[in-house]
């Protein structure tokens, strides 16, 4: 037992400092060595899930010896033999899953302490230096051993007041995914009401001078958990952190793909699970939908002969997204410029060329060029007689640009060029890969994190044959939809909107909606999301009706 490390951890928590750690699920002890070398305050070696055997566990414990990193082991269940064994081989404490009652927690404490305070048997293993340090270990063990229950069910949350009355427990962890499962939302990290229930329990625990732990899902969630008052903060699970890094690297070379349960690559970038009965409460919207027709947007002359009309942006309350139409007069060129955010350019009509640092792409209607932040680019209308029109999407609600006064040697790119590795992405509409996100609907992706490294938004083109539609759904970001062909019906929580002729709808985060082609002719749209992947949460069709509006 590393009593000094345990005392330092307790001192940090008592001083309202954050103690950062790692959840270890992979067998290599090098992972724990890396955690120790990185200065983490704790690790939890997970013997409940996964495939770690006793040899793996003891190797991880050895990797933390004589360090300032507390090594805890999560046992598979509340079991005297398991708790005794992990403490005998040198764990600094035990993490016990699925604690719901005070009696269960009292048992866990008793199993971890020597008599007369508990029922732990004395073994001649690592904890006692193979029997050479019986008196020293027994004397310090009861004072220092950590017993950490995980509250991961609705019943456990309801009983938190009684759990707090059990002596010998100072840290409580939460398991949001299992908590959601017991609340009827299996497969969700925090289903409706679960986040609120966990935070209410955390406040009760803090009010009693005790501490709360949770594993973050990403860096943003880590910051949010700290703000919420969690102090025993897991940076993540080792496997999840590795996968996150792998996907980021794969995205940089346009190879990122989501995993599936069968370890097969997904068929398309937009997938959806079984419909939810209602959206998560955490996605409750704070703004209404807005539709804008051309002529009613905000216009700005970008340069002589180049006019941008914003149809979605700050003026309608959009967040992380501006979209609209840019019209070029005959023969007009827009000077080179760059942005601190990504831009996606789709030719709607005319003859045009988009240049990116001298690379010239001649475009046909509905070809797209997506330019990551920081790359200088320009555009020109090649026709001397007719205007050219573009659909523009910018990954900011407050767009701005910096003119670039630099000469780039120009070279014509091949008509089948799809851009440059790590740079711009070019989609040639005529030969683009399509997929079907709904009946009688075919989509083409222009931009997303899998196609363009570090892009902050995602979007593409959708063609709906008569009767074509998407299921009722919502997003965790704002969406812009411009109708570029035919007539569309947009249903938002029972409210019906008819759009055509480049009319554009803003669907704010959390609004339940779907588009349907109720006409007898094809309908097409260009859509963009204020998020890097085209992810949607499908809900029951009733949520898109007046009677079933989940936000009433």
| CB contact burial 492-507 (16+ within 10 A = b; e otherwise) | bbeeebebeebbbbbb
SS3 assignment, position 73: strand
Does residue 7 contact residue 68 with C-beta atoms inside 8 Å?
no
273 occurs within a structural domain: no
Rounded CA separation 235/23 (Å): 8
**Co-location of 392 and 358 in the same domain:** yes
Q: Is residue 106 part of a domain?
A: yes
What is the three-class DSSP state of 191? Answer: coil
Q: Check whether residue 76 and residue 203 sit in a common domain.
A: yes
Residue span of the structural domain in which 152 resides = 3-252
Tell me if 270 is assigned to some domain.
no
| Residues 426 and 436 placed together within one structural domain of the fold | no
Q: Are residues 325 and 202 in the same domain?
A: no
Q: Express each pLDDT in 346-391 by its tens digit.
A: 999 999 999 999 999 999 999 999 999 999 999 999 999 999 999 9
Whole-angstrom Cα distance, residue 479 to residue 132? 67
CA 55 vs. chain centroid, Å, equals 35
Q: Is residue 85 part of a domain?
A: yes
User: What distance in Å separates the CA atoms of residue 352 and residue 365, rounded to the nearest whole number?
Assistant: 9
pLDDT of residue 139: 81
Strands (E), 202-349: 211-215, 232-237, 290-292, 298-303, 306-312, 322-328, 333-338, 343-349
Token pair listed for 429:
């509409």
The CATH number for 66's domain is 3.20.20.60
Total number of domains in the chain: 3
Q: Are strands 298-303 and 411-412 parallel, antiparallel or unpaired?
A: unpaired
Domain stops at, among 199, 227, 252: 252
Which one is catalytic: 49, 362, 473, 497? 49
Residues (pLDDT < 50) of the chain are: 266-272
Active-site residue flag, 362 = no
Model pLDDT, residue 268: 45
Can you read off the two tokens belonging to residue 489?
């019906």
What is the C-alpha separation between 281 and 496, in angstroms, rounded? 23
Model pTM score: 0.55
Q: Is residue 264 included in any domain, yes or no?
A: no
Work out the widest C-alpha separation in the chain, in whole angstroms.
96
Residue 283 domain flag: no
Return the H-helix or E-strand segment holding 96: strand 93-96
> Domain for residue 269, yes or no?
no
């Amino acid at each position: 037992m590393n009593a000094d490390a345990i005392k330092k951890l307790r001192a940090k928590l008592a001083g309202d400092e954050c103690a950062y750690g790692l959840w270890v699920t992979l067998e290599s002890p090098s992972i724990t060595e890396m955690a120790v070398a990185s200065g983490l305050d704790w690790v939890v070696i997970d013997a409940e899930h996964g495939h770690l055997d006793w040899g793996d566990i003891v190797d991880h414990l050895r990797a933390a010896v004589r360090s300032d990193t507390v090594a805890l082991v999560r046992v598979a269940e509340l079991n005297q033999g398991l708790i005794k064994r992990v403490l005998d081989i040198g764990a600094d404490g035990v993490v016990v899953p699925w604690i719901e009652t005070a009696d269960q927690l009292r048992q866990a404490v008793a199993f971890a302490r020597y008599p007369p305070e508990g029922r732990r048997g004395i073994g001649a293993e690592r904890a006692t230096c193979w029997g050479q340090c019986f008196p020293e270990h027994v004397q310090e063990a009861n004072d220092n051993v950590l017993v950490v229950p995980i509250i991961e069910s609705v019943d456990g949350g309801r009983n938190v007041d009684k759990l707090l009355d059990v002596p010998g427990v100072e840290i409580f962890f939460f398991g949001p995914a299992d908590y959601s499962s017991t609340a009827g939302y299996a497969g969700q990290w925090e289903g409706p009401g679960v986040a609120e229930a966990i935070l209410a329990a955390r406040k009760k625990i803090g009010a009693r001078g005790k501490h709360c732990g949770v594993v973050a899902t990403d860096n943003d969630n880590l910051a949010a958990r700290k703000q919420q008052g969690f102090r025993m903060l897991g940076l993540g699970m080792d496997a999840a952190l590795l996968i996150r890094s792998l996907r980021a690297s794969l995205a940089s070379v346009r190879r990122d793909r989501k995993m599936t349960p069968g370890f097969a690559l997904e068929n398309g970038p937009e997938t959806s699970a079984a419909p939810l009965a209602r959206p998560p409460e955490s996605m409750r919207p704070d703004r209404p939908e807005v539709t804008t027709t051309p002529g009613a947007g905000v216009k700005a002359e970008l340069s002589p002969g180049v006019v941008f009309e914003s149809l979605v942006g700050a003026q309608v309350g959009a967040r992380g997204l501006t979209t609209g139409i840019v019209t070029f007069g005959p023969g007009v060129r827009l000077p080179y410029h760059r942005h601190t955010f990504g831009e996606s350019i789709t030719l709607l009509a005319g003859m045009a060329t988009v240049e990116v640092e001298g690379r010239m792409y001649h475009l046909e209607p509905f070809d797209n060029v997506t330019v990551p932040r920081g790359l200088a680019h320009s555009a020109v209308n090649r026709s001397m007689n007719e205007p050219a029109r573009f659909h523009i999407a910018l990954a900011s609600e407050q767009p701005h640009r910096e003119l670039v006064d630099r000469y780039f040697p120009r070279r014509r790119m091949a008509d089948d060029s799809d851009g440059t590795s790590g740079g711009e992405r070019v989609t040639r509409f005529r030969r683009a890969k399509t997929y079907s996100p709904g009946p009688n609907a075919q989509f083409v992706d222009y931009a997303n994190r899998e196609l363009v490294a570090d892009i902050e938004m995602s979007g593409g083109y959708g063609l709906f044959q008569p009767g074509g539609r998407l299921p009722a759904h919502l997003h965790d970001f704002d969406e812009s939809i411009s109708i570029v062909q035919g007539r569309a019906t947009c249903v938002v929580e029972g409210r019906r909107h008819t759009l055509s002729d480049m009319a554009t709808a803003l669907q704010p985060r959390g609004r339940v909606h779907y588009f349907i082609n109720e006409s007898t002719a094809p309908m097409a749209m260009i859509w963009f999301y204020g998020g890097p992947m085209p992810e949607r949460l499908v809900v029951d069709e009733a949520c898109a009706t007046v009677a079933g509006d989940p936000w009433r």
